[in-house]
């Protein structure tokens, strides 16, 4: 978040979180190429979509 202080989806700088592109429970890693910065709102929306089978 220090390197990218804004959400990758909407651009806000508020309430940022780290998001695993490939979830750790599915074999994803904690490396920079598998983690991106999302605000909590986008992260929650993405998680709900992911559970419904949408992948991005």
CATH code for the domain in which residue 3 is found: 1.10.30.50
pTM for the predicted model, two decimal places: 0.80
**Non-local CB neighbours of 9 within 8 Å, separated by 6+ positions:** 38, 39, 42, 46
Q: Please calculate the CA angle 15-52-43 and round it to the nearest 5 degrees.
A: 10
How confident is the model over 1-55, as pLDDT tens digits? Answer: 889 999 999 999 999 999 999 889 889 999 999 999 999 999 998 877 776 776 6
Domain count, the chain: 1
Q: Coil, helix or strand for 30?
A: coil
Residue given tokens 């998001």 in the structure block: 19
Q: What is the pLDDT of residue 23?
A: 87
Q: Which two tokens stand for residue 13?
A: 């700088």
Instruction: Tell me which residue range forms the domain holding 6.
Output: 1-56
């Amino acid at each position: 978040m220090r390197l990218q202080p804004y959400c990758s989806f909407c651009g806000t700088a508020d309430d940022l979180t780290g998001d695993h592109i490939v979830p750790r429970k599915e074999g994803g890693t904690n490396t920079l190429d598998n983690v991106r910065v999302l605000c909590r709102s986008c992260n929650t929306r993405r998680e709900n979509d992911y559970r419904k089978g949408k992948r991005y």
